[in-house]
Structure 1
Amino acid sequence: MLNLRSAALFVLAALLEIGGAWLVWQGVREHRGWAWIGAGIAALGAYGFVATLQPDAHFGRILAAYGGVFVAGSLAWGMVADGYRPDRYDVIGALVCLAGVAVIMYAPRGR
């Protein structure tokens, strides 16, 4: 159950960080305005709080693992929001990153 909670927090963190960055991008690069930028900044701030809810107490481990989630999540976001189609190397790379997340976060440790 703890691993399920952790995975759900990673997904929520990815939605907030990637979504926040996308909103800022839309506000600046696509000239959608300050409301989009402000919403992006709020989402990015919320991401910082969500990361603290992970059950593991080690900041470095959480952020290192989240990096892999971010890679895979960014590709998925691009597919949904921008019509991006990853090639097989994008997919392989994302799967390698997610395997790294699993090793970093969920490998048994002798505590």
Structure 2
Amino acid sequence: MAVLVYIGAALAEIAGCFAFWVWLRMGRSIAWLVPGVASLCLFAWLLTLVEADNAGRAYAAYGSIYILAAVGWLWAAEGVRPDRWDLIGMAICLMGGAVILWGPRSA
């Protein structure tokens, strides 16, 4: 369940940030901020759904899924195919996120 929530949160965060990018960097209408802010609010709410004892761990593990989504965005939305270094770095981050979220903890 956590992975699905993280994927939804990552897509919402990237979409929200991209709306600001479109407005500021591409010179589009300020109206882009309305769905952008809504998307960022959705992102924040989704992160609260993750089953984790501490917010910091939930956010740290989320970072790895965000990197996966950002590399996917690079390819799907920007038309830039990830190279092997993008993929290797993404894999390392995903492993780190899994360790942070699901690693055994001592009481």
- TM-score normalised by length of structure 2: 0.91
Q: 1:14·1:69 contact (CA, 8 Å) conserved in 2?
A: yes
Q: 1:17·1:44 contact (CA, 8 Å) conserved in 2?
A: yes
Q: 1:24·1:38 contact (CA, 8 Å) conserved in 2?
A: no
Alignment of 1:1-111 (within 5 A): 5-111=1-107
Dislocated runs of 4+, deviation >2 Å: 107-111
Matches of 1:44 and 1:92, distance apart in 2 = 28
Q: Which runs of 5+ in 1 are unaligned?
A: none
Q: Which runs of 5+ in 2 are unaligned?
A: none
- How far did 1:110 drift? 4.5
Matches of 2:53 and 2:34, distance apart in 1 = 30
Letter in 2 for 1:61: R
Q: 1:20·1:39 contact (CA, 8 Å) conserved in 2?
A: yes
Q: CA RMSD in A?
A: 1.3
Deviations 1:62-111 (A, max 9, x none): 11111111112111111111101221111100000001111111223345
Q: Number of aligned residue pairs: give it.
A: 107
Matches of 1:64 and 1:76, distance apart in 2 = 19
- TM-score normalised by length of structure 1: 0.88
The sequence identity of aligned pairs, in percent, is: 37
Matches of 1:74 and 1:39, distance apart in 2 = 19
